[in-house]
Structure 1
Amino acid sequence: MHSILAAAPAISVEGGRILGSVGAGGIATALTVVLIAGIREPKSGKAGPGGAGGGKKGRIRKKLTSDQAQWTGITAGTLYMTAGSIWTVGKNLSDAFASVFTNGGFGAAGLGAVSLILGSVLYFRELTPGKAAVTGIVAAGVWAQAGGIWGLPQALILTGAHAIGMI
């Protein structure tokens, strides 16, 4: 009786790319899908007059909480700026929001003040997941431009994504 020893093939992650070749644009797209799928209520499948009939209503398998939506929004907003192309809409939204406070209407206010405003809203208010996601996207752009301690989320997100080979 002979025994055969077969070795399993080694699993390797080429160049640290855990998810394969993704890129900032791919991650931005995927996170946008996560936000839309995780915060939008599905349309009900009404059939016939008055909604009677065999319509099947879709369900959300996992719904994002307010905190999950805001951090996913911050991550998505950071990657929107990194990806460029069509994703510059996130930066434009951040710039428009910041200009409301920095154009002189509120006195001498800089991006640090706008960062404090956004941080306060995200910390002290429990927004609906949709509003939390949009606020997170806006905050990502403002924080990245404000620099200082406000640049830490961007630095952590981009360093982490680069470390695992996503960008």
Structure 2
Amino acid sequence: MFTQHLAAAQEISVAGGRILGTVGAGGIATALTVILVAGIREPKGSGGAPGGGGKKGRIRKKLTSDQAQWTGVAAGTLYMTAGSIWTVGGNLSDALATVFTGGGFGSAGMGAVSLGLAALMYFRELTPGKAAFTGILAAGVWAKAGGLWGLPQALILTGGHALGII
């Protein structure tokens, strides 16, 4: 005998407003780190020549300096939020700030360090790798400086909470 079974499709919904499911600050920090590493590093054996080698050794999308810089700021912000192994970014920012605020450069505060990083990011076109590192450093320094400098952190975290990913 022939028996026919009819199954209903499972309902698709956004549980609890989480668009990407349960991600968390650590998950987003990891994803942004993968984006930075994959987007700024030349593959081994490619020699940097466009079209050189087979399909296996080419970058599909390469981050520009500005993209790497702002992805670094977002990653650095989420490193501080995630904690755990991600505290290295905050420690590097603290070390950089201490060099300038420790008295060796006169009376310099976190705002001065923030201004210096912002000037470097605006006036110099760094390689994507250096731009990403500068963005990660800037995220920590700007968060500690507060005031206007805390705006990128506030925007990133507010946006993450609104999307339900943090």
Asked if TM exceeds 0.5, the reply is yes
Q: Which amino acid aligns with 2:15?
A: E
Pairing 1:33-72 to 2, within 5 Å after superposition: 33-44=34-45, 58-72=57-71
Could you list the per-position Cα deviations for residues 21-48 of structure 1 after superposition, in whole angstroms to 9, with x for gaps in the alignment? Answer: 00000110110000000000000179xx
Q: Secondary structure at the match of 1:37?
A: helix
Give 1:12 shift. Answer: 2.4
| Partner residue, 1:78 | 77
Structure 1 gaps of 5+ residues are 1-6, 47-53
Asked if 1:149 is matched to 2:135, the reply is no
Aligned equivalent of 2:16: 15
**Equivalent residues of 1:38, 1:63 under 8 A apart:** yes
| 1:56 Cα deviation after fit | 7.0
The equivalent of 2:25 in structure 1 is 24
Give how far 1:8 is off.
8.3
Instruction: Tell me, in whole angstroms, the C-alpha distance in 2 between the residues paired with 1:163 and 1:12.
Output: 17
Answering whether residue 137 of structure 2 is matched by residue 138 of structure 1, we say yes
Deviation string, structure 1 residues 73-130 (Cα, Å, up to 9, x no partner): 0000000000000000000000011111000000000000000000001111110000
Matched residue count: 154
1:122 match: 121
Structure 1 stretches of at least 4 aligned residues deviating more than 3 Å after TM superposition? 7-11, 54-57
- The one-letter code sitting in structure 2 at the alignment partner of 1:40 is R
Q: Displacement of 1:16 after TM fit?
A: 1.6
Instruction: Give 1:110's aligned residue.
Output: 109
Change (3 A) 1:136 1:43: same
- Matched residues, percent identical? 81
CA RMSD in angstroms, aligned pairs only: 2.0
Counterpart AA for 2:33: T
Q: Secondary structure of 1:104's partner? A: coil
Specify every segment of 5 or more residues in structure 2 that has no aligned partner in the other structure, as ranges: 1-7, 48-52
* 8 Å contact kept, 2:46–2:58: no
Q: Describe the shift of the 1:105–1:70 C-alpha distance in structure 2 as closer, same or farther (beyond 3 A).
A: same
Task: Give the structure 2 partner of residue 92 of structure 1.
Answer: 91
Residues 106, 45 of structure 1: alpha-carbon distance in 2 compared, 3 angstrom cutoff: closer
> What is the CA–CA distance in structure 2 between the aligned matches of 1:62 and 1:29, rounded to whole Å?
18
